[in-house]
């Protein structure tokens, strides 16, 4: 009976400690992640349990392009991956994305007074 009491005291000693609470939280999070993984559905293949970026079937289609870049015509990459400033003939390429870069002030250009 003495061993049972000692085991009981050892088992209860960690209740309320930071480590005990951390272990409880870790267990709860792990259970939630398992439930969440089961609820997701891949937009690439339609199977459940993973998302598109993790899809092995989708990686087959993401191989390198087998024809020149549609933007610069130089490399075998997609246009969104293209950082070329010139095309294959040396002509300048327009900047990609939002071309209105830079910091803008709050006042519109038309309301500014000349100095």
Alpha-carbon distance of 57 to 45, in angstroms, equals 7
pLDDT at 58: 58
Alpha-carbon distance of 115 to 107, in angstroms, equals 15
pLDDT at 38: 63
What is the per-residue pLDDT across 56-88, written as a single tens digit (0 to 9) for each? 775 555 555 678 888 899 888 878 888 889 999
Beta bridge partners of 41: 48
pTM score: 0.32
What is the per-residue pLDDT across 16-54, written as a single tens digit (0 to 9) for each? 788 888 888 888 888 777 766 667 788 888 888 777 777
What is the per-residue pLDDT across 2-17, written as a single tens digit (0 to 9) for each? 668 888 777 777 777 8
């Amino acid at each position: 009976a003495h061993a049972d009491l000692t085991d009981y005291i050892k088992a209860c000693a960690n209740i309320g400690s930071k480590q005990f609470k951390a272990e409880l939280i870790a267990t709860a999070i792990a259970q939630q992640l398992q439930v969440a993984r089961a609820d997701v559905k891949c937009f690439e293949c339609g199977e459940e349990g993973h998302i598109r970026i993790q899809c092995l079937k989708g990686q087959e289609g993401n191989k390198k392009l087998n024809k020149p870049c549609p933007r610069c015509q130089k490399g075998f990459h997609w246009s969104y991956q293209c950082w070329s400033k010139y095309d294959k003939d040396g002509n300048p390429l327009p900047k990609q994305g939002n071309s209105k870069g830079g910091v803008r002030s709050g006042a519109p250009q038309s309301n500014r007074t000349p100095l």
